Structure 1
Amino acid sequence: MFKKLLSMTSATQMIVAMFIGFAVGIFFGESVGWLSTIGTGVILLMQMTVLPYIVVSLVGGIGKLKPDTAKLIFSRAGIIMLLLWALGLLLVALMPLSFPFVESASFFSTSIIEPVVEIDYFKLYIPSNPFESMAAGYVPAMVVFSIAMGLALIGMKGDNKTQLLEFMHTCGEMFGRITQGMVKVLPIGIFAMSASAAGTMGVDEFASMQVYLISYFALCLVLTFAVLPWIVASLTPITYWQTIQMSKASLVTAFATGNIFIVLPVIVEECKQVMKKHNTTSEDTDTLIEILVPIAFTFPNIGKLTVILFVYFCSWFNGTPIELLDQLSLSVSGLLALFGSVYVAIPFMLDLVHLPADLFQLFVMSGFITGKFNSITAVMNLFILTLLTAAMFQKNLKCFLPQLIKMTLGVAGSIIITVLVCRLGMGLFIHSPEVTSGVIANMQVADKVPTIVKTQYPQLGKTPTSPIASVDMIKQRGILKVGYIPSNVPFSYYNNAGELVGFDSAMASKLAEDLNVKVEFVPFKKKDLVASLQAGYFDIAMSGLAMDIELMGDLSYTNQVMELNFAIAAPDHMVNQFKTTDSIHTLNNITVAYVEHNNAIQAIKQKFANITFKQISGYQLFFRQKNNQYDALIISAEAGSAWTLFFPSYGITLLENNVRYPVAYAVAPSNQSLLNYVNNWQNLRQVDGHQQQYYNYWMLGQGATNPPPRWSIIRDVLHWVE
């Protein structure tokens, strides 16, 4: 059995390793999750020769060209290649429109308030220090440097040039041998990553991978059998069916082997034959074809560019859409990065748009399936580039208005039909994950102390008052009375079981536990806070209270519990309109709601005279509105994220300058005893980690769900393990 595996081709070994890995992962489940570290190690080994190989291959390949050949290729084939690249990148950017709509939301994440490292485009594209560019992994800069060196060599003569080109050729062979050696180890990495993924990946994640695979297959097929051959049929005497017929054998070979290099001679001969059929060939044309095909092979082709779709998929999968400006940067940087290996280009592009590097493993897993499809696109790209260049050389390229209209209608029609079919098909058969509101609606307070929850607001002047209770009085009566604001997610709200829960509800229960008393929750409205504390309706207000300068003379705030981040909540389709100050200034007929922060709102009103601001009594009035009275809401990012779990059709965005504000608890100004106790208690619970534990649970959602172990044969069928 082992000898048979060794005798297989490397491509077959990888496919076998992938399926064996899936089988192992399904059998053993999460216990083989550690194998991902082996897979990561193998991939890193595969990457070690890529950057040096880019340098030697581009310098050697371009440097050995004759001036006339170089001029011909870069002036004619270069223009066509650039246009094909632009078309390919456009189609890749449009293909995410086929992804099904997924209405989702997530808990607050500290990553959204971390400063985004700005991309230094000068360092990314200009190799002022090539050694720094190589060390930092700036692939586009290395490509620019290598092309510049290759172009400089074209005009040089003498033995020094010959020796340098031989050295580059020798280095290329050396790196090629190293890569071939690493390819023998690659099946081990494929097995490890496949086993880890199959053992740990949930059903929803597998369903999401279908989105990528279906859209990728559709993209490659429409390029290979519709868009590219139609361009040739529109602009040259060669018909659509002749293009398909001449490329058929090469396409089948490339798909079966995943190897483009072995069909290069076939592409050359087929292009010569089809040119002869139309009496447009000559010795010079044949020479052009013979030179062009192998040189074009060394440049990125449309088939290779299609892998950029994986980055768009990752942004959809991660719930962080790529902005239009970033899409342009991704296209240009991705093109230059793909002069090298996809195993370097994909991690580079993921980092460029700030996506998790771990997603790269999904690309490697699917690479042996998708690789067969991008191989046929690459082959068709070589055919079309060669035929268009030869037709331009023979002055048979028909770039007149009727032909251009014919080409545009055919290409646009193919793209629109493909996107619509994929969107409708995946929308019907690939379903969204479970609604996220079930997670936050079922969260519970862990500390169980005797609890009384009142739901009726005390009526000022009618409900009997009580004396302001010191710590000793609270202990004597055995009850700590805590004021709360209902529906103040995630600080105090009712879960599906009708229990009062939330960050501050948990903190209040812990405070009561430490005082060794019961806890009684009393609802209040923000406007009645001072009067309610003075009337003794409750001892302390604990409900995500923003520290308010206007109230500081009428009540006492404890030490700040945490800092929250100002944000804007809006319907998903409007969120981007509030991301920058400039975009907000362009808005008209917009109404923004707010609940508190009167001082801050006054300053904002002066800054944005084009916006109408209206105060509402509670955040739920915005999220549950039916008449679309309000377009956006000023809220904290932490609370806004929690609300979007209940209402996934809304999203949040931070204010541009990342303004923050403190929240604290409040007691009556004369209750110095309780104020001192709570301040000291807070310090203790911050140091021992209890407050951070509550923050992680209620704000970040850590531990909010306890998914069962991944289904596996060894656990769920054989019952060999628990």
Structure 2
Amino acid sequence: MLVAMGIGFAVGIFFGEYVGWMSVIGTSVILLMQMTVLPYIIVSLVGGIGKLNKENAGMIFSRAGFIMVLLWLLALIVIALMPLSFPEVESASFFSTSSILPTPEVDYFKLYIPSNPFESMAAGYVPAMVLFSIAMGLALIGMEGENKQQILVFMSTAGEVFSRITQGLVKVLPIGIFTMSAAAAGTMSVDEFASLQVYLISYFVLCLLFTFWILPWIIASLTPLSFTEVLQISKTAVVTAFATGNIFIVIPVITEECKNIMRKHDSLDDNGSTMIDILVPIVFTFPNIGKLTVILFVFFASWFNGSGVEIIDMVSTSVSGLLSLFGSVYVAIPFMLDLLHLPADLFQLFVMSGFLTGKFNSMAAVLNLFAVTLLAVSLWQKKLNLSVAALLRVAIGVVVSVIVVIVLTRIGMGTFIKSPETTSGVIANMHVAEKVPTKVHRQYLNIETAPKQALASITDIKKRGTLRVGYIPSNVPFSYYNNNAELVGFDIESATVLANDLDVSVEFIPFKRHQLAASLDAGHFDIAMSGLSMEIGQMNEITYSDPVIELNIAIATKDHLVNKFKKQKTVLEMTDMTIAYVEHDELIHKVKHKFPNLTFVEIDDYKNFFRQKNDKYDAAIISAQAGSAWTLFFPGYGIALLESSGRYPVAYAIANGNQSVLNYANNWLNLRRVDGQQQRIYDYWMLGRGAEKKEPRWSIMRDVLGWVD
């Protein structure tokens, strides 16, 4: 399997994206390996528990459960210490819609209660199937007679059949490993994981520490097995789990290896063998140490967001994470991110890294299964060494190894991982796709001296051949200048599309927010398109189009203050804090009453906040979308979504009485919303999709030999 994996990676690097299709074969092999696992769990549990008496069954569950809880506690402590290895870096990211999506709820009833066992089996609800199997096994304990023996014989025979099928399928497993490795190496880009390097390195180190030291050390110190024997018996299962990223398929292998090694040490009787049959599938259904390691991603997300996790939050996150990990990690991670009020856009990075991290946590999960099973069986067989010397040996070995690993990892990452020279490169080089004759004015018009012009209808605009659009400079990401001194942004591109649809050129004219109504009435421009929030106080002076998009209210502040602004309780405890704002007069009026301890100051432009030199303002009220874009230019700042944060609409502004332009703008918005043009522009400027050109995956065939373009 190791050879197959190595050859697969080599093939992937050589052929690149041309072997991406091979993942289909790998997936097929893995699915074949899974076909016997659920039936194996059922027959093992029913048959194993059915052989026991009531006293033995109670001892198994209580002792194994106690060992499992102790290992969970140890794992959570080590995971909580691992962020100490993170270096000091600055980073930022585009806004992500995942940060405002509700966290999906786990249906714990269906997950754990087999109201319909057949539905639970079909849906793959392993905990529910285990509960059903345990119930059947417990029912058998109280039965006597030939019928019970026939059921037990059937379960034993079926278990042997499923085990033989698994052993046969293992022979074709290298084919699946080869194809999966080739497809992964051929399609994964190194650049995709650049922003995850700190998390990946610390995560790999953490999983390797559990797999090859902490758990084997605990087993070797407290059971008759030696450290070498632990590594030897777990080798096949660890390699298989790493290569496939799946521990489900190695349950039969773990069961047999545990039996064989305990028999070798004369530490296994018939009851002990039955106990192993029961324990492995039961322990599998509970969160294992490999699964718990994903909690590290939440701590990484907090560090990456520029805000640390306080000890009390770390404890609550760990406990909540343990409980939520009874379900899927893809539900647990968003839940924990939301618990810490972290922007959930980093969840996409978690998903993207899942292929690699899944392989490493699978190894730790395998050793967790070995550890609980072997420790519980040894305790059952009275072979567990609980002397003071043995316990002290475990404690010293674990503590020293954790300290050494954290220190070395921190030094290594601090030496070789540097902060990016700039995080603004992407957004500063974005450009408008639509090519329309454009004229950009940079100087503000003097409202008092500039000549007034009659309001232009759509017919007048077409006759004139130019659409005049008002914009606010430095209003990222709606209207700003890129590195080529070009006026770009969400609304700038929308304006060029509108001009193109009118078959006219476009002329951009800057304006100041407080002069918007006067500029429109004077006919200085036909329409204002620059991320304008719809203000009730201005509705009698200007006319708004239908909402273009909805934005989310947030707070922009220095990274170290982000966490404090996420909870109303901590905001109310603040003193000597000055909050800047540019718009949202009605909202500010409400907030002032809600937080009388804060000082609110109106500023002309968001750049006055982000470019301040004397820390005059501690935070600014801004949209989450715009704030995220600004943090790309100023990575020392972060964004905090408030509790019960509201939303507000952004629209175009048109002079009162200009019904022709208003009607056209509304109809045009509806059309572009339906045909997807509006969404494309939003994805590019707000979410950054397509902002970076995706190059073909590097490969020897293309980039070295030049066999293909």
The answer to whether the 8 Å contact 1:484/1:543 transfers is yes
1:146 pairs with 2:133: yes
- Secondary structure of 1:307's counterpart equals helix
Query: Over residues 513-549 of structure 1, what are the superposed CA-to-partner deviations in whole Å (9 max), with x where a residue is unaligned?
Result: 3444432222222111112222333232110111111
- Report the Cα distance in structure 1 between the residues aligned to 2:696 and 2:525, rounded to whole angstroms: 44
2:210 equivalent among 214, 219, 229: 219
Residue 611 of structure 2 corresponds to 624
Supply the distance in 2 between the matched residues of 1:427 and 1:542 (Cα, whole angstroms). 45
Query: What displacement does 1:711 show?
Result: 0.9
Q: What's the secondary structure of 1:447's corresponding residue?
A: coil
Structure 1 residues 639 and 370, CA, compared in 2 at 3 Å: closer, same or farther?
closer
- The one of 67, 81, 89 equivalent to 2:54 is 67
Distance 2:409 2:466 in 1: 61
Q: Output the amino acid matched with 1:713.
A: I
Change (3 A) 1:165 1:626: farther
Deviations 1:295-325 (A, max 9, x none): 6555538999332156346668889999865
2: CA distance, partners of 1:170 / 1:585:
67
Q: From the superposition, tell whether residues 709 and 637 of structure 1 become closer, same or farther in structure 2 (CA, over 3 Å).
A: same
Distance 1:391 1:302, change over 3 A: farther
* 1:557 maps to amino acid: Y
Per-residue Cα deviation, 1:630-664 (whole angstroms, up to 9, x for no partner)? 44433223222322332344443544445322211
Structure 1 residues 67 and 263, CA gap change in structure 2 (3 angstroms): closer
Distance 1:351 1:179 in 2: 35
User: Which segment drifts farther, 426-435 or 646-655?
Assistant: 426-435
- Counterparts of 1:7-26 in structure 2, within 5 Å, are 14-26=1-13
- Tell me the CA shift for residue 351 of structure 1: 9.1
* Contact 2:216-2:227 at 8 Å conserved across structures: no
Which of 248, 251, 261 is 2:231 aligned to?
A: 251
1:538-590 per-position Cα deviation (integer Å, ceiling 9, x unaligned):
23211011111111111122232222233333444544544555665566665
Q: Distance in 1 between matches of 2:501 and 2:275?
A: 80
* Contact 2:103–2:335 (8 Å) recurs in 1: no
Residue 547 of structure 2 aligns to a residue in which SS?
coil
Name the counterpart of 1:38. 25
Distance 1:456-1:156 versus aligned 2 partners, 3 A rule: same
Offset at 1:385?
A: 5.0
Q: Is contact 2:476–2:630 with CA below 8 Å preserved after alignment?
A: yes
CA distance in 1, matches of 2:437, 2:582: 32
Counterpart amino acid of residue 218 in structure 1: L
Of 430, 445, 453 in structure 2, the residue corresponding to residue 458 of structure 1 is: 445
- 2:257 aligns with 262
**Identity across aligned pairs (percent)?**
53
Residue of 303, 307, 319 corresponding to 1:328: 319
Moved more, 712-721 or 307-316: 307-316
The corresponding residue for 2:294 is 311
Partner of 1:678: 665
Q: TM-score, normalised by structure 1?
A: 0.80
Q: Normalising by structure 2, report the TM-score.
A: 0.81
Note closer, same or farther for the CA distance 1:143–1:646 as it changes in structure 2 (3 Å cut): farther
Q: Please tell me whether residue 510 in structure 1 is matched to residue 497 in structure 2.
A: yes
Deviates more, 1:467-476 or 1:632-641: 467-476
Any conservation in 1 of the 2:219–2:230 contact (CA below 8 Å)?
no
The Cα of 1:599 is off from its aligned counterpart by: 1.0
3-state DSSP of counterpart to 2:470: strand
Report deviation, 1:115: 2.9
Instruction: Please give the per-residue CA displacement for 1:149-170, whole angstroms capped at 9, x wherever unaligned.
Output: 4334334332333223223323
Counterpart-to-counterpart distance in 2, 1:524 and 1:312: 48
Partner of 2:532: 545
Q: Give the structure 2 partner of residue 202 of structure 1.
A: 189
User: Could you tell me which amino acid in structure 1 is paired with residue 707 of structure 2?
Assistant: W
Quick one: which amino acid aligns to residue 673 of structure 2? Q
**Are 2:157 and 1:162 equivalent residues in the alignment?**
no
The structure-2 alpha-carbon separation of the partners of 1:199 and 1:442, relative to structure 1 and needing over 3 Å to count, comes to: same
- Secondary structure of the 1:643 match is helix
In 2, Cα distance between equivalents of 1:94 and 1:588: 32
Query: Which residue matches 1:275?
Result: none
The change in CA–CA distance for 1:590 and 1:110 in structure 2 (over 3 A counts) is same
Q: Which of 630, 637, 645 in structure 2 is aligned with 1:643?
A: 630
Report if aligned partners of 1:15, 1:368 keep a CA contact under 8 Å in 2: no
Distance 1:19 1:548, change over 3 A: same
Distance 1:647 1:181, change over 3 A: farther
The alignment partner of 1:700 has SS state of coil
Cα 1:40/1:639, change in 2 over 3 Å: farther
SS in 1 for 2:551: strand
CA contact (8 A) 1:492 1:501 kept: yes
Matching residue of 2:705: 718
Aligned with residue 487 of structure 1, among 474, 485, 490: 474
Identify which of 50, 56, 59 aligns with 2:43: 56
Q: Which residue of 1 aligns with 2:650?
A: 663
3-state SS in 1 of match to 2:294: helix
Residue 300 of structure 1 aligns to a residue in which SS?
helix
Q: Tell which deviates more after alignment, 492-501 or 559-568.
A: 559-568
- The answer to whether the Cα contact below 8 Å between 1:268 and 1:290 also exists between their aligned partners in 2 is no
Secondary structure of 2:588's aligned partner: helix
* Correspondence for 1:300: 283
Residue number in structure 2 paired with 1:280: none
Distance 1:522 1:150, change over 3 A: same
Paired residue for 1:605?
A: 592
Q: Give structure 1 stretches of 5+ with no counterpart.
A: 1-13, 233-237, 273-284, 338-344
Distance 1:313 1:620 in 2: 35
Distance 1:620 1:36, change over 3 A: farther
| Structure 2: 5+ residue stretches without partners | 239-252, 337-343
